[in-house]
Homo-oligomer: A and B are copies of this chain.
Amino acid sequence: MKSKTHVTIYDLAKELDVSPSTISRALRGHSSISEDKIKIITKLAKKRNYIPNDIAANLRQNKSNNIGVITTWINRNFHAQIISGVEEEASSQGMNVIILQSHDRYKDEVQNAQALLNSRVSGLIVSLAMETRNYDHFLPFFKNRIPVVFADRVPSELNSHKVLIDNVKVAYVATKHLIDQGYRHIAHLSGQRHRENYRDRILGYTKALKEHGINVNKNFIYELKTKSGDEAIQAIQELLSLPIPPDAVFCTNDTMAVSIIQYCKKAGIHVPGQLAVMGFNNDPITTIIEPNLTSVFNPGFEMGKQAAKLLLDHNRLKWTDKNFTTIKLGTELMIRESTIKIN
C-alpha cells in the first residue's frame, strides 16, 4: 500500500466524474453550481476527509490569511493584552495571527519583518522595539501595499496607520495629580527619549511641572533601557541620595513602580508618606501591592482589537496608500493609595 498524500480536489473530481473547477466552486458555495451537486460534493469531501490546502489557494490568490505581529515581549502583561485583542478580532474574521518577538532589539525586529514579508502576511501589526531608530525594514511593506499598523509603540517619523494613547496628555494628568496632592519634587523614570511614547510622556510631565511653576530638574528624569525593576531600584537609590531627593516618582510602567515600593519597604521609606509612587499601564499587580499603586489604565486589549480591525478594514476596503488613520484610545488615571498625600 502506497502511503497516500492528502486528498485533493482532483481526487474528488475524479471520483465524481466532474471537473476540479466544479469541486472548487461547490465547496465554496458558488452560485453557478447546482444545489444538488453541492450536496453531493460536500458529502464526499467529508467522507474522504478532504482538507482544503490554504497554501495552494493563497498562492493562486496572491495573499495569505495570516496577519503578522511583531511585539517586544509576549510575556509582559500589557503586550499580552494587545496580542490577545489582535487574536480575538483577527480570528473572528477568519484570520490567523503569526507572532514574533523582538525582545526590544532592533536586529530582531528587522529579522522578524523579513520573515513576515517572505511569508506574505496580509498585514503587519507592530509595537516597536526600544532600540529601533531606523524604519527602513518597513518600507517593503509599503511598497508592496501590505498595510502596517503600529500599536502603542509608534514611530513619529513614519506615516502609517497607528493605534495609541495620548501619551502627552495622560502623563500631564498623572503628573498634575501628584502636584495636586502637594508633591513638588517629582522624578520621572522613563524609557529612552527617541521612542515617541516616552518622549511624549516626558513632554506631558514637564508641561505639568512648568504650568505649576515647578522648575524641571534634569537630574530627575531617567531614560532607562530595559525599564526593569532592577533598573528602577538602581535609579531610585541614586535619586534618594541626592541633596534634594524627590518626594514622588512617576514610573513609566508598573513593574518599576512596584519594585520601588518593595525597595522602599525594605529601606524603611514610607510610601506615600516620604515618597509617592505612580505607575503606568494598570497591570493586575497595581491592586495587589500595598499600598495599592496609582496607575494609568492603558487599554492594551482594545488597542490590539482596533489595530486588527484597522488592518482588516484596510484590506477589505482597498484603501489607498495615503489614507492613513490614527486612532487614539482613551485612558484613565486610576488613583490609589500610593500617591495620596497623608497629612
**A residues bordering B, Cβ < 8 Å?**
5-6, 49, 51-56, 58-59, 62, 64-66, 73-75, 77, 80-81, 83-84, 87-88, 91, 94, 96-101, 112, 115-120, 140, 143-144, 258, 262, 284-285, 288-290, 301
Contact (Cβ within 8 A) B87 A99: yes
Contact (Cβ within 8 A) A54 B97: no
Contact (Cβ within 8 A) B81 A75: yes
Some 9 contacts from A to B, beta carbons below 8 A apart, are A51-B117, A53-B59, A53-B118, A74-B87, A75-B301, A80-B80, A91-B101, A91-B112, A285-B288
Residues of B within 8 A of A59 (CB): 53, 55-56, 59
CB-nearest residue of chain B relative to A96? B98
CB distance from A331 to the nearest CB of B (A): 19
Bound Cα distance A98, B90 (Å): 12
Bound Cα distance A96, B114 (Å): 12
Contact (Cβ within 8 A) A96 B84: no
CB distance from A101 to the nearest CB of B (A): 5
CB-nearest residue of chain B relative to A229? B284
Bound Cα distance A98, B83 (Å): 12
Residues of B within 8 A of A56 (CB): 59
Bound Cα distance A320, B59 (Å): 31
CB-nearest residue of chain B relative to A79? B80
